[in-house]
C-alpha cells in the first residue's frame, strides 16, 4: 500500500468511527478508533519526527487530544467483562459490578460530552486538514531513510528491554510498553508501505507476544488502582481476596516478562 493511501485511510476511519461512536457507542468501534489513532501517533513519533520535530510534536499532541478521553472508558469496559473471572466471592463480584458500572456510566457520559463538543469537531477538522496540507506528513516521507529509522528504533528499544530486572518499577515498564507499542505500529507501517518483504513475520509475531505480556502487567496494575479507589466499600476479607488475586496475577505477568527477556537475550 502506498503511504499516502495508508494515511488517508487512517484519517477516514477515525472520522467515520467518531460519527459511529456518537450515534451508537460500541466497544469494538472504540477499540478500532483507538488503534487507528495509535497508528497515526506512531507514524508521527517514529518517522515524522525525523522530518519536522516541531510539526510532529504538534501532530502527536493533536492525536493525544483524541486518545485521552478514551483511556478510562476502555479500561472500565474491559474490567467489567473481566470481573466474572476474578477468583472472589459472588458478593464481592456484585459489589464490583455495582461500583464500576456507575464509574463506567460517568466515563461514558464524559466521553460523549467531549465527542459532541465544538472543540472536538474543530480538532477533527484540523486533523483532516493537517494531512491534506502538511508536506512533512504526506510528501516528505520519501526523503527519509526509513530502513535506518526503524533499525535504530529497534536497537534502542531492545537495549532498554535488556536492562529490565526485578528492580524495574511499574512506571519504567509502562514507559517501555509505550515505546514498544510505537515501535510495533512503526514496524507495521514499514512493512505495509516501505518494505513489503515477508521476512518480518516472525518479528511481528514476537512483538505481539511481548505486547500481550506488557498488556497483562498494565491491566493488573490499572485494576489494582481501580479497586484501591473503592477499598472502603469492602470488608477486610473481601479486600484481602481481591488484593491477593491481582497481586499474584501481577507477579505472574512480571515473571512471564522476565522469561521472555531471558529467551530473547540468551
> CB neighbours (10 Å) of residue 146?
19
Distances (CA, A) of 222 to 43, 75, 128, 235, 247: 27, 8, 33, 21, 12
Q: Cβ closer to another protein: 35 or 157?
A: 35
Q: Classify residue 90 as exposed, middle or buried by CB count within 10 Å of its CB (0-12, 13-18, 19+).
A: exposed
Q: Cell numbers at residue 145, please?
A: 531513510
Alpha-carbon gap, residue 170 to 73, rounded angstroms:
22
Least distance between another protein and beta carbon 22 (Å): 18
Nearer to another protein, 41 or 50 (CB): 41
Closer to another protein by CB, 31 or 128: give it. Answer: 31
Question: Which residues of the shown chain bind another protein in the complex (CB under 8 A)?
Answer: 26-28, 31, 35, 77-78, 81-82, 84-85, 208, 211-212, 215-216, 219
Give Cα separations from 59 to 49, 55, 191, 193 (angstroms).
10, 6, 23, 20
In order of 4, 36, 185, the CA distances from 141 in angstroms are 10, 19, 16
- Nearer to another protein (CB atom), residue 45 or residue 77: 77
Minimum distance from residue 46 beta carbon to another protein (Å): 18
CB of 155 to another protein, least distance (A): 23
CB of 85 to another protein, least distance (A): 5
Question: Toward another protein, which CB reaches closer, 15 or 216?
Answer: 216
Place of cell 511499574: 170
> What is the closest distance, in whole angstroms, from the C-beta atom of residue 198 to another protein in the complex?
13
To another protein, the closest distance from the beta carbon of 262 in angstroms equals: 18
- Phi then psi dihedrals of residue 2, to 5 deg: -75, 145
Amino acid at each position: 500500500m502506498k503511504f499516502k493511501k495508508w494515511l488517508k485511510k487512517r484519517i477516514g476511519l477515525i472520522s467515520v468511527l467518531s460519527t459511529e461512536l456518537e450515534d451508537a457507542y460500541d466497544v469494538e468501534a472504540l477499540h478500532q478508533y483507538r488503534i487507528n489513532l495509535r497508528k497515526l501517533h506512531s507514524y508521527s513519533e517514529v518517522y515524522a519526527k525525523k522530518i519536522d520535530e516541531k510539526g510532529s510534536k504538534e501532530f502527536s499532541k493533536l492525536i493525544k487530544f483524541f486518545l485521552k478521553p478514551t483511556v478510562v472508558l476502555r479500561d472500565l469496559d474491559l474490567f467489567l467483562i473481566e470481573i466474572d473471572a476474578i477468583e472472589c466471592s459472588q458478593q464481592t463480584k456484585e459489589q464490583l459490578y455495582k461500583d464500576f458500572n456507575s464509574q463506567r456510566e460517568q466515563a461514558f457520559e464524559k466521553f460523549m460530552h467531549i465527542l459532541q463538543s465544538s472543540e472536538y469537531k474543530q480538532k477533527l477538522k484540523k486533523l483532516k486538514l493537517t494531512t491534506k496540507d502538511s508536506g512533512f506528513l504526506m510528501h516528505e516521507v520519501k526523503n527519509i531513510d526509513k530502513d535506518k529509522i526503524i533499525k535504530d528504533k529497534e536497537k534502542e528499544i531492545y537495549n532498554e528491554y535488556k536492562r529490565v530486572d526485578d528492580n524495574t518499577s511499574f512506571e519504567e515498564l509502562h514507559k517501555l510498553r509505550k515505546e514498544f507499542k510505537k515501535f510495533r505500529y512503526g514496524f507495521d507501517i514499514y512493512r505495509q508501505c516501505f518494505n513489503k518483504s515477508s521476512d518480518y513475520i516472525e518479528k511481528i509475531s514476537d512483538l505481539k507476544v511481548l505486547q500481550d505480556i506488557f498488556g497483562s502487567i498494565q491491566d493488573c496494575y490499572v485494576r489494582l488502582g481501580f479497586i484501591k479507589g473503592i477499598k472502603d466499600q469492602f470488608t477486610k476479607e473481601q479486600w484481602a481476596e481481591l488484593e491477593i488475586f491481582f497481586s499474584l496475577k501481577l507477579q505472574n505477568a512480571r515473571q512471564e516478562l522476565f522469561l521472555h527477556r531471558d529467551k530473547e537475550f540468551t
